[in-house]
Chains A and B, each alone.
Chain A
Amino acid sequence: MDAHLSAAAPVSLGSPLVSVHDVRHLYHRGGAADLLVLDDVRLTLRDNEIVALLGRSGCGKSTLLRIIAGLMPPTSGEVAIAGAPVKGPASEVAMVFQSFALFPWLTVLENVEIGLEALGVPAEERRKRAVGAIDLIGLDGYEIAYPKELSGGMRQRVGLARALVVHPKVLLMDEPFSALDVLTAETLRTDLLDLWCEGRMPIESVLIVTHNIEEAVLMCDRILLFSSNPGRILAEIKVALPRPRNRLDPAFRQLVDDIYARMTVQSQGKPVREGLFRGTGISMVLPRVSPNIQAGLMEAVAAEPYNGRADLPPLTANLQMEIDDLFPIAETLQLLRFAELAEGDLRLTEAGRRFVQGGPDERKKLFAQHLVAYVPLAGHIKHVLDERAAHRAPATRFRDELEDQMSEEDADKTLRAVISWARYAEVFAYDESSGVFSLDNPS
């Protein structure tokens, strides 16, 4: 089993299986400036290794996977598979999707056969190979079931069988376990690793996109850590732990902690508000995190055993959250100066502690102060409303301002976030049916 570890060393002979050279990708937005999604990404994938692309959601790692799969061309740069430049979907790769992407009107067998059908493989051989792949992945007996009759884990097994049956060299996996519950995901990971270690899968290497740090450490030989806005490879981390790996092994924990720290180190050396979210000033793209959840997290961090300072890995585990759910909340708190994220810890500020101790009215007052002071868009709207004689302003006015700087979707998300925070803080009101901001709160 340990034989695979040595494969992490560079292979000298021949070209790498996948090589990505200086890939940049711009996302074109109507009117607004182009958004840089991927910046100067370079990576190689060699024989016999599992590599993770680890990063926060929205960091462009899924885009990179699609560029490698040949589903979209990069704005600039080059991708080669087995030495040949990628000019479209290549037959050497197959992809597993987060949403499984099964055809609900086809049976398990037909779903698995579909890739072979596209290749023009004769019906008999098609059936034989599909049944083989279904057996391999542990789904025998389910051949004529429809996807909707299966549980999530089994559906992802179908997705896996469908990818394996065409005998790709590279298996691309886009967050393959994140739509599954914890237990199912773990079983599937273990089964997959067993097949890999025993060399029973007809593939040469695997590239997994994930935001789950433990998953990456558990499965991969190498981890490529991605930064957000724009997506860049921050670091390459070799995982030399022997397989099968134990999550409770101190070396495993150490590595996980280490990666947490690297992922939170990002904002150091910059002003707290900058770089947390995409964009600056009023055109910062804000996440939709309700004040209730913010209050909940602050209370959790203030309480035993953390007493105002929490290490992220145990905190996420205790709250039964994924790191990807926690980060936006923690960062919102950081934006509002209720907490600080650093070196894998979340620490409440003085204001954060006062918020937790305060009653409902004090909380609202404190939240209102911080909202207007530290969220530029909220301050801007408040200012405009104060200036106007009628204390009213249509939302389109601000929407247009935002859409100059960000996509329509982001502008909508950002406005909704600010509306929700302002409603809680009673800083200003918003009437949904007329789309007008005003200072009058119904009392």
Chain B
Amino acid sequence: MNIRAVTDSVRAAPLGIRARGLLPNLYDIVAFVVIAGVFVALAHAAREMGAPLSGLDLTPVTLDPANLPEYALRTTLRMFAAILASLLFTFVVATLAAKSRKAELVIVPALDILQSVPVLGFLTFTVVFFMGLFPGSQLGVECAAIFAIFTSQAWNMAFSFYQSLRTIPGDLDEVTRQFRFSPWLRFWRLELPFAAPGLIWNTMMSMSGGWFFVVASEAITVGDTSVKLPGIGSWLALAIERQDLRAVGLAVATMAVVILAYDQLLFRPIVAWADKFRFEQTAAQQRPRSWVYDLVRRARLVRRIFAPVVLVAGRLAMIRLSATTWRAPSVPGKLGKIGEIVWLAIVLAGAAYALWFTVAYLRAALGISDVAEAVELGFLTFLRVAVLIAVASVIWVPIGVWIGLRPWAAERVQPLAQFLAAFPANVLFPMAVVAIVAWKLDPNIWLSPLMVLGTQWYILFNVIAGASAFPTDLREASTLYRLRTWQWWRKVVIPGIFPYYVTGALTASGGSWNASIVAEVASWGDTRLKAAGLGAYIAQATEAGDYHRVVLGIAVMSVFVIACNRLLWRPLYRVAERRFRLD
């Protein structure tokens, strides 16, 4: 091996511009402006968010395009506030679950359930709660909106982090123990880097889903209280009220720009940077690239600005919080077992009390016929979700396979599919509603497609990913043996992409249930369309301020979603893992 060449190539890349002293270069200027802009925006929006609630009445949301950039900014900031809260939640809760057996017993199933609960339904309670927490201030409503987004994001992130912590390679764990790392240093040097790729991917998925909720949670009506927070969602709600199609179009365009910017400015750089945390010992052929990341890396001044941050982080990492001794023995002693049983008893007692409390609450106002009604509507919505996922699969699986098998096409379509998945479909709802009204279509049928409008893309981009990863030798073998078309699909392609398809379909169906709360009821000006279903049931109960029915609706929907996951998706997933893995 030519050692000289190796070292040269290693050294050349990051230090290439050292020769030219301290003068700022072009990259510095661009990067500086971007960063400064972010800081100004943050400061501005933070001040606005703390404004008194009456401010909303004085300066209500208007359809003036000049306001649109600010609305977009406010919407984005809500999003970031939620993602920060989700990260914080992830680090605390997932670490707790991974380190404490008792906490794990409660947290893991809780996360699993929370992932399947339709978070839009929560909005009712959280708005009331947070407005009570900050009486008279806009902050309460802001918090409610942020919390709504948070509830759509946090669970899968925490789950991913927890799973990473549980699968830390044994030898690296031994290294940290042998060198007596403090828990703090261990977190920064081992746990966080190891978990980073999974966590970043899940954060990305969470944010994609989050746009939907940020739009849905800005214009809230609960009973008599109706609040419109400045943002794209409120703009859209107003546009619908006023039947202003031009304003709807503007909202769509703005949303597209925002998501594009967020992808280019935030996520691509992070993914490119996080590539080094991928746990593999061989260098990858293709590495994710990002122009923003390259720019920041090349910008000398930016690095100098961040140097103190790095230094402080380094100092922080070296704090020794406690000395390392034996870990608790892996075999729980008698005392440990008793403790666990007591803990389990406490948890079960808590759960029993919660159940009693819920049932008592519901029984005060509702009878068994109400439950039957909700379940019946649940079946209607289930039927919709099932049919739509089937239809979307029939359409997108062949297209996804076609694209995935052609690298040039996959390269172009894949980012588009991911973009579409992130695009909040509720922004597009008014267009559909206008069409239904204009052609006098049956809302029971034609409102349904709205449920998969935003979620079908998960099927598409997962299938594309699966088809792209399909081994070339298997494809060549099937070509050589001249498999007939049907045979080729059944024996080669479908098994090959199956694990990816299941992942996509699972995400899509979960998202569709959630979307039903917004999609089964739609309005355009004074025209109101309604499809019979559980989503509409929850939406109407929310609007009427009928908390009992909201609780019942959410509970029934949660049961449906969990049943789908347990009875259909998980077994399919297991089959995919066992039978159809290609590695």
Contacts and interface: CB of A to CB of B under 8 A. Distances in A.
Given A73-B329, A148-B280, A95 B178 contact: yes
B317 interface: yes
Interface string B145-184: 0000000000000000000000001011011111111100
Given A105-B193, A120-B320, 10 more contacts: A69-B174, A88-B326, A89-B180, A101-B172, A101-B174, A103-B190, A104-B279, A104-B281, A119-B179, A148-B280
Interface string B281-320: 1110000000000000000000000000000001001101
A103 B276 CA distance: 10
A102 to B, nearest CB: 8
A144 B10 contact: yes
A143 to B, nearest CB: 9
25 contacts: A66-B174, A71-B178, A87-B325, A89-B178, A95-B174, A98-B171, A101-B175, A103-B189, A103-B193, A104-B277, A104-B281, A105-B276, A114-B179, A115-B179, A117-B185, A117-B318, A118-B176, A118-B179, A118-B185, A119-B179, A123-B314, A141-B7, A142-B7, A148-B280, A151-B1
A247 interface: no
Contact of B174 (A97, A106, A119): A97
Interface in A92-146: 93-95, 97-101, 103-106, 114-115, 117-120, 123, 141-142, 144-146
A91 B178 CA distance: 8
A103 B14 CA distance: 20
A377 B177 CA distance: 41
Interface residues of B, number: 42
A123 B310 CA distance: 13
A147 interface: yes
Please list the 10 inter-chain residue pairs (A to B) with the smallest Cβ-Cβ separation, ordered nearest first. Answer: A101-B171, A88-B325, A141-B7, A115-B179, A118-B179, A105-B193, A28-B331, A105-B277, A145-B10, A118-B181
B43 interface: no
Interface in B306-356: 314, 317-318, 320, 324-326, 329-331
A433 interface: yes
A69, A89, A93, A142 — most chain B CB neighbours (10 Å): A89
Contact of A149 (B279, B283, B324): B283
Contacts of B190: 103
Contacts of A69: 174, 178
B579 interface: yes
Given A28-B330, A99-B171, A151-B1, A89 B189 contact: no
B58 interface: no
B438 interface: no
Interface centre among B178, B180, B185, B329 (most CB of A within 10 A): B178
A166 interface: yes
Nearest to B185: A118
A254 B541 CA distance: 89
| Interface size range on A against B | 35 or more
Nearest to A104: B279
A70 B281 CA distance: 28
Contacts of B189: 103, 106, 114, 117
A155 B320 CA distance: 28
Contacts of B283: 148-149
B175 A97 contact: yes
A50 B41 CA distance: 64
Nearest to B182: A118
Nearest to B317: A117
A91 B318 CA distance: 17
Contacts of A98: 171
B482 interface: no
B7 A89 contact: no
A88 to B, nearest CB: 4
Report which residue of B179, B276, B282 has the largest number of chain A beta carbons within 10 angstroms of its beta carbon: B179
A121 to B, nearest CB: 9
A78 to B, nearest CB: 14
* Among A73, A101, A144, residue most surrounded by chain B Cβ atoms (within 10 Å): A101
A88 B314 contact: no
B326 A73 contact: yes
A71 B179 contact: no
A71 B180 contact: no
Contacts of A166: 179
A91 to B, nearest CB: 7
B285 to A, nearest CB: 12
A28 B326 CA distance: 17
Interface string A241-266: 00000000000000000000000000
Contacts of B169: 101
Nearest to B171: A101
Contacts of B329: 73
Contacts of B178: 69-71, 89, 93-95
A28 to B, nearest CB: 5
A120 B318 contact: yes
B324 A88 contact: yes
A142 B276 contact: no
Contacts of A147: 281
B6 interface: yes
A442 B279 CA distance: 43
B491 interface: no
Given A94-B178, A148-B280, A149-B283, A433 B193 contact: no
B325 A142 contact: no
Contacts of A118: 176, 179-182, 185
Interface string A377-411: 00000000000000000000000000000000000
A94 B180 CA distance: 11
B278 interface: yes
A178 B438 CA distance: 75
Contacts of A117: 185, 189, 317-318
Contacts of B193: 103, 105
A95 B171 CA distance: 11
A91 B180 contact: yes
Contacts of B480: none
A71 B174 contact: yes
Contacts of B18: none
